Every structure is written in structure tokens, then in C-alpha cells.
A and B are shown apart, each in its own frame.
Chain A
Amino acid sequence: MQKKSWKFGTREVVYSAIGAALYAVLSLATNWIQLPSAGNVSFRPAIVIPLFFGVVFGPIVGFIAGFLGNIISDLIAGYGLWFWWDLGNGIIGLVPGLIAVWMTTYKATKDIVWAEVFSVIGVLVGMGVASVSEMWVSGADINTVIFANFIPAIVPDLINGLILLPILLIAYAAIVKRSGR
């Protein structure tokens, strides 16, 4: 069956929900996992979930996984609702989803490299949008936006995403091969 980028059928409805719930749960779960070498930087390994769901199931699923997952995570943690940061997380999942139709085996070097490249773009654009929103919401200047919001947000996201995404793609390739789906 030919893949369609912007399709939102039953399968996409289900995987959007699973992606969002998974992103929320893993974000909360890994909050208490201490990474001593990372100092005070907030690490969120779960950022790989919207990236992965985007690459595998398409841009809409990636977007909902990031957007809704961040909302649910913040709702459970009691941090309230920060629409622009939720939107930024959604974009993080949406951009890698743009290459979902070109994915073939998920474990081929070409597939992994493209997934990584689009993930980097997704993180930069998503966190860029979220950070710039602070100029409108909080009246922050561009220096504050770059050094207090953008850089602290992208560095851990890129490190986590780029390391964990290939691992998940290779694991998924094994499942696809075994189940024939």
C-alpha cells in the first residue's frame, strides 16, 4: 500500500494517541532519572518519541505526539499549559514526519541519516518558534530568547534525539520485518 504523508485515518488516530501518551509518560518517568554528567541541564530523553512517531507514521502523527504529549505531561506535572511550547514540541514531531513517505527499511544508513537530518531541522524550527514566542508573551529581547530559551532547549533535545532515534528505528525495522506490517 502506498504511503500518504498527510493521511489521518484510523491508524493515524491510534498512533497519534499512543505517541502523545508515550511522550507524556516517558517525559514524566525520565524526570526522576538523574544524569549526573549533565549537571543542572534538564534532559528529556523522551523527545525521541515525537521524532520517531513522525518519521514512522507521518507529520500529523508526529505533530500530535509532540503537541498533545507535551500538554499531557505538563498537565500531570502541574506546570499548567504553555501553548507556544506545546506548538514547538508539535513542530519537532511534524518536520521529521515530512520524510515518512521516503522511509524504506528504517535501518538502512540512508534512512537513518535522513531521519537524523530532519530531526535536527525539526528541533531547531520547533524550539525556535517556541523561544521566539517569549518575545511576544514575556517581552524578552532576542539575547534572552537565544541564551535563556533557545540554546538550553535545543542542546539536550538534539543530544537525546540523535542518539536514541537510530536505536528506535532499528528496533522498529525488526518489528516490521517480523510482523510483515
Chain B
Amino acid sequence: MLVTWRYRLRNGLMEKFDPRARWIFSLAFLFAVTMFWDARFLLFFFIIAFAWYFSSRAKWKETRRGWYLIGFILFMMIVINTIITGGGAGGVVPPGGHLVWPQGGTFPLFDWHFHFGLTWERLWFAICQVLRIGGISAIFLIIPYTMDPRVYGVTFRGLGLPDRFAYSMELAFRYVPTLARDFGTTLDAQRARGYEIERVKGGIVKQIIRIAPLIVPVTMNSILTGEDVTNAMDLRCFGTRPRTWLNKLTFHWQDYALIGFSIFMLVGAVIAIYGFHIGNFWVPYFWLKLAE
């Protein structure tokens, strides 16, 4: 089994920023954008998100798998939320509104009359959902493609995570290729003994139990290895004083600028929503004119 990280150096503008500054920006963006349902504000965030996304220089063929998943989730949400259930969209869209089919409709073959409660306001809400979720997705989808897995530990240590947690994170990233290799070896060994993972006979329970000969040896083997690693770390006095890290991170002027912008964005969002009471769900006049 081949496990490869999605990261590779692309020399994009995004990579010029310190990973800590990028996390602060991403989280500030998430908290800021989730305060709004006004499409004008959401469009602003959407543009920022995709400007950020394209600064990575990641190609479509690299990221398309993630986008397909997001597209599927978004489609399901909008179809169920807006078209089928119309459940008030989490209390955002006011009740009532302008019906898309005020007279209802008739199934041509059976002559069944139906009343469909879809409103223009809910359709506009669906557009807002696309802008909001699309923006959030662009910010977070690009992280694995542009952030070196070797710096996750030191990054989160720099963001205030305790040493032990950050080290655990670092260790986990380093274990992945080893465990993937162990899994491949176990799979090959079991197959050599006549194990058939692809056998389709049996119900769900049998299918799941059939996976046990793979999961059990890999898990138990890694637990035994873990004891040795623990002993080795204890013998080297792990945790008795603050750690030093192989990769050092240093803030530069562009990182301070990004952090400043992140704070401005978040504080601005809070002031807009709680100070000026703007940014809540809003439907433009031209859209409601379509209902007439």
C-alpha cells in the first residue's frame, strides 16, 4: 500500500507565509464567515478564499477528488435542505416568502396535483450556502497540498499546544509510512495463506469480521513496537525539559501582515454583526422581482 502526502513545493505565494500565520488566517476566516448570511459579505469572503486558494498554484487534477466530495455534500445539502424539506434553513430564512410555483403543479401522466413550498427566498439562501461553504472549502481543502507534514508539530507547538501533544502529532505523521508498510506486509502475508479480502459472499457482519485478520495483527504489532519506543524515549529522559525542534519557524513581515489582516477580518465581522446589526440574511430586490 502506497501512502503519499499531497504536499509538494509549488513556489506559490501561499508558501511564503509561516504555517502558524496561515492557520491563524484560516481559523479567523472560518469564524468570520460563519457569522454572515448576507450574500454581499459572503461574496467578499468567497473572493478572498479563492484568491488565497489560487495563490497556492495547486492544479485542478490534484485537488479535484476533494472538490468532487465537497460538490456532492453541497448538492445533497441544497437538494435536501432547500428543495425537498424546506425546513426553514436553520431558522435563517424567515417563514413565508414568495412561492416559486404559487399555483402548484400537475404530474402529466397521472394528473396528480401537487403543492410545492419552495420559495425564492430559500433559493437565494441556497446561493448563500454555495458562497459560504465554497469559501470555507477553498481555505481548508488547500492545506494538505501546501503545508509540509514535517512542520505540523512545531507549528502547533508555536500556536500554544503543549510540548507533549505537539510531539505526539509529530510522531503520528512520522509513523504513517511505517504503519502503511506494515499493513501492506500483513495483507501480502495473509493473501499468501489464502486470505481473500475481495470475497463477496456473506452479509455485512461476515464482511466486517473478514477484515479482522488484517486489523488485528497490524494493531497488535504496533502496540508491541510502541512499548519499545516508550522505553527508548524514557531512557532519553523525554519530557523532563522543553523540547527543541528540528525545523525552526520564524515570523517575517508578510506573516505579521497576514495575522493583522486576520484580526481585522474577525474584529470587523464581530462589529458588523453585533455593532451595526448588518450581515444577516438578505434577499436582493431584483431576485424578488422574479417572483412577480
Contacts and interface: CB of A to CB of B under 8 A. Distances in A.
Q: Give the interface size bracket for B toward A.
A: 35 or more
A36 B275 CA distance: 55
A72 B87 contact: no
A1 interface: no
Interface stretch (B8-16, B208-216, B245-253, B257-265): B208-216
A79 B66 contact: yes
B6 A76 contact: yes
A136 B34 contact: yes
Contact of A76 (B4, B76, B234): B4
A10 B203 contact: no
Interface string A150-172: 00000000011001100110011
Tell me the interface secondary structure of chain A in the complex.
Answer: helix
Contacts of A117: none
A68 B165 CA distance: 10
Interface string B186-225: 0100000000011010111101110110111011101111
Contact of B145 (A33, A46, A78, A167): A78
Interface of A: 8-11, 13-18, 20-22, 24-26, 28-30, 33-38, 43, 45-46, 48-49, 52, 64, 68-69, 72, 74-83, 134-144, 147-148, 159-160, 163-164, 167-168, 171-172, 175, 179, 181
Given A18-B179, A18-B222, 17 more contacts: A13-B164, A14-B171, A14-B230, A16-B172, A17-B172, A18-B226, A21-B173, A21-B175, A24-B172, A26-B183, A37-B204, A72-B172, A77-B65, A79-B66, A80-B140, A139-B81, A144-B77
